[in-house]
């Protein structure tokens, strides 16, 4: 099987064979669907194998027995800072290759490059780097754009964001970036209670950018007002925001009760108690709950000392915390582990968990007619899992990705 000489991990388009995967359980299509065909980078068939003519079967170049495993759409992570020893703030092709390669090995086929609070100049460098990277081949998980987390956050809820860079909303920054890189910013997370935030939310909405609340001291009433002005999403719900109290519902109360707010959750068993995850899953039943990793550069590297936004972070037993103060500092989570947590611990079905990890983020980004489902005509972003939910194979745009060894990531920082 021929491969691109510049990158042996992805097959060349002209030489890439069509693939029939059979004897599987195909999620999200008609009952009894057990076969899928990838052809020309897209899904050309997803349904019961008995509906395939012998002529079609004979025309397929590669036939793969799924051995009764699951076929699900590739994961889409709208909140991820890094992995494999690298961070998106490093703003360079080699770093972006390493991050996307690491996460594609764990089932992520598309993502938003998520920033941290930093100087205007450094944010601009990230915007330029992502823009350039997206113009290339993007051989691993696809960068769909930028999720700008910070710096327009609450200084009361910095989490692992560097407080030296947290500032009030600066609409002129967004105007400059939107002019220079139209459509690149897909989401911006901010504290909606800050001066100028509502004006910025209205601007973001007019520009087609998802306005999200994060690291916020907002009251229930302030979140509802922000929704009226265009707020649509809540980053890492329950973390770094005002909690639920029976007389002061806070940000969490507004997220739980307002169907206009989609919610993302970090399901690693550390950030949020499973009872709260179950509560969120119970109330967010309209394609408005997403799984995210919030992964940092340490993902995939094991315990040790790291840096996040210039702050010292220690990872112990897979949990990342600021060395000073002990606050959680992102995660070392992968999407396949978040998916499995929702099935094994929370009790969702494979289909339900798949929707949270694939279709819902695609819908939030307005890409549900491109990816996020196993539907003929859509992009060939497909995962094959064993019956026990172990990841077996990954296809991105119809190309199978070689899953690298963790030893190939950067070792230490």
Q: Is 239 annotated as a binding-site member?
A: yes
Q: Is 236 annotated as a binding-site member?
A: yes
Sequence-separated (6 or more) residues with CB below 8 Å from residue 262? 232, 233, 234, 284, 288, 289, 290, 360, 364
Rounded distance between C-alpha atoms, residue 229 and residue 359, angstroms: 26
Rounded distance between C-alpha atoms, residue 400 and residue 15, angstroms: 12
Q: Is 79 annotated as a binding-site member?
A: no
Rg value, the chain, Cα: 21
Q: Is 176 annotated as a binding-site member?
A: no
Q: Is 328 annotated as a binding-site member?
A: yes
Catalytic residue of the set 97, 294, 337, 381: 294
Q: Could you tell me the CA-to-CA distances from 370 to 299, 339, 359, 365, 373 in Å, in that order?
A: 28, 21, 10, 11, 8
Per DSSP, what are the bridge partners of residue 149?
189
> Is 294 among the residues known to form the active site?
yes
Per DSSP, what are the bridge partners of residue 264?
290
Q: Is 405 annotated as a binding-site member?
A: no
Q: Is 103 annotated as a binding-site member?
A: no
Q: Is 264 exposed, middle or buried (0-12, 13-18, 19+ CB in 10 A)?
A: buried
Q: Is 208 annotated as a binding-site member?
A: no
Instruction: Tell me which residue of 22, 17, 26, 10 sits closest to 62, measured CA to CA.
Output: 17
Rounded distance between C-alpha atoms, residue 384 and residue 398, angstroms: 13
Q: Is 247 annotated as a binding-site member?
A: yes
Rounded distance between C-alpha atoms, residue 228 and residue 380, angstroms: 37
Instruction: Please give the backbone phi and psi of residue 265, each rounded to the nearest 5 degrees, phi first.
Output: -140, 140
User: In which element (H, E) is residue 239 found?
Assistant: none
Known binding residues for Zn(2+): 149, 215, 236
Name the binding residues: 149, 160, 215, 236, 239-240, 247, 271, 328-330
Residue positions in the annotated binding site for substrate? Answer: 160, 239-240, 247, 271, 328-330
Catalytic residues: 294
């Amino acid at each position: 099987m021929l491969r691109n000489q510049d990158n042996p991990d992805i097959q060349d388009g002209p030489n890439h064979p069509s693939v029939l995967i059979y004897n599987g359980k195909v999620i999200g299509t008609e009952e009894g669907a057990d076969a899928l065909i990838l052809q020309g980078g897209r899904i050309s068939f997803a349904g019961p194998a008995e509906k395939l003519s012998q002529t079609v079967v004979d025309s397929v170049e590669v036939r793969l027995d799924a051995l009764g495993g699951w076929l699900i759409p590739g994961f889409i992570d709208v909140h991820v800072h890094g992995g494999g020893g690298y961070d998106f703030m490093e703003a360079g092709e080699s770093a972006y290759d390493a991050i996307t390669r690491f996460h594609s090995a764990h089932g992520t086929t598309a993502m938003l490059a998520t920033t941290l609070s930093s100087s205007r100049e450094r944010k601009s460098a990230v915007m330029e780097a992502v823009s350039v990277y997206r113009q290339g081949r993007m051989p691993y998980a696809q960068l769909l754009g930028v999720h700008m987390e910070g710096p327009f956050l609450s200084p009361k809820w910095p989490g692992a964001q560097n407080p030296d860079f947290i500032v009030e909303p600066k609409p002129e920054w967004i105007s400059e970036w939107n002019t220079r890189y139209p459509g690149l910013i897909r989401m911006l997370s901010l504290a909606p209670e800050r001066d100028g935030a509502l004006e910025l939310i209205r601007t973001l909405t007019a520009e087609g950018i998802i306005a999200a609340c994060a690291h916020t001291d907002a009251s229930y009433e302030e979140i509802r007002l922000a929704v009226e002005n265009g707020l649509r999403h809540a980053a890492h719900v329950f973390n770094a925001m005002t909690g639920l109290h029976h007389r002061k519902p806070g940000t969490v109360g507004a997220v739980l009760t307002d169907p206009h707010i989609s919610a993302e959750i970090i399901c690693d068993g550390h950030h949020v108690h499973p009872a709260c995850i179950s509560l969120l899953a119970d109330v967010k039943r309209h394609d408005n709950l997403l799984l995210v990793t919030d992964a940092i550069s340490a993902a995939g590297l094991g315990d040790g000392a790291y840096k996040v936004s210039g702050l010292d972070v220690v990872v112990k037993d897979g949990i990342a915390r600021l060395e000073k103060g002990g606050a959680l500092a992102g995660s070392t989570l992968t999407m396949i582990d978040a998916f499995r947590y929702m099935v094994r611990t929370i009790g969702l079905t494979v289909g339900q968990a798949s929707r949270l990890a694939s279709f819902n983020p695609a819908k939030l980004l307005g890409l549900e007619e491109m990816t996020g489902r196993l539907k003929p005509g859509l992009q060939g972003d497909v995962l094959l899992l064993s019956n026990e939910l172990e990841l077996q194979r990954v296809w991105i745009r119809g190309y199978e990705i070689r899953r690298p060894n963790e030893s190939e990531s950067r070792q230490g920082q």
